[in-house]
Amino acid sequence: MQKPDNADQLNQAVAATTTPQQTCWKLGEWLVEPARNSISSSDEVLQLEPRLMTAFELLLSANGQTVSDEQLLSTVWPNLVVSDSSLYQVVAQLRKALRDQQKPYQLIERGQRKGYRLLQNAELMPANFQRQQTAILAETITKRTVDITKTRWVYTAILLTLILLYAV
């Protein structure tokens, strides 16, 4: 994905990624699904508030470029007047969800009083990627359930055998 040069290109990039189609982003260990307001890693799935996802999607679309405070404020809170502390809270909550709370930050960086940017490259995934990941996850869960069920039967059989041996 080409990096946007100015605010107009950034807005076009955001518009292109917020179409009704199901888009996914890959950022480090995280799979970001804006349509579901969710992020997932190999060991957890988190639901984000819509405002968090809107801010996150804007940062993802910027592809490492700094997104100004004004852009974030006007996108996350359109037609509302909010203080900068609201923006700081959204970024802090986003960092917490991404497990990026210790300085130096690994994912989201504050530009010198001018905005925020992602420190890692985000990759826009193909539309069918989400379905593939869901199918893989469903298969893994099914396999684990079957393995657990088999294990329970084995333990139950051993326990019954021991009970019968001691009863005799």
The SS3 of residue 64 is coil
Distances (CA, A) of 43 to 39, 40, 137, 150: 11, 8, 11, 23
Distances (CA, A) of 38 to 30, 55, 66, 155: 10, 13, 23, 37
Q: Can you tell me the distance from the alpha carbon of 105 to that of 158, in angstroms, rounded to the nearest whole number?
A: 51
In this prediction, residue 20 has a pLDDT band, given cuts at 50, 70 and 90, of very low
What are the pLDDT digits (tens) for 32-81? 889 889 888 888 888 999 999 999 999 998 888 889 989 999 899 998 88
Backbone angles phi, psi at 66, to 5 degrees: -75, 130
For residues 36 and 7, which has the higher predicted lDDT (pLDDT)?
36
Q: Can you tell me the distance from the alpha carbon of 94 to that of 33, in angstroms, rounded to the nearest whole number?
A: 14
Give this prediction's pTM.
0.63
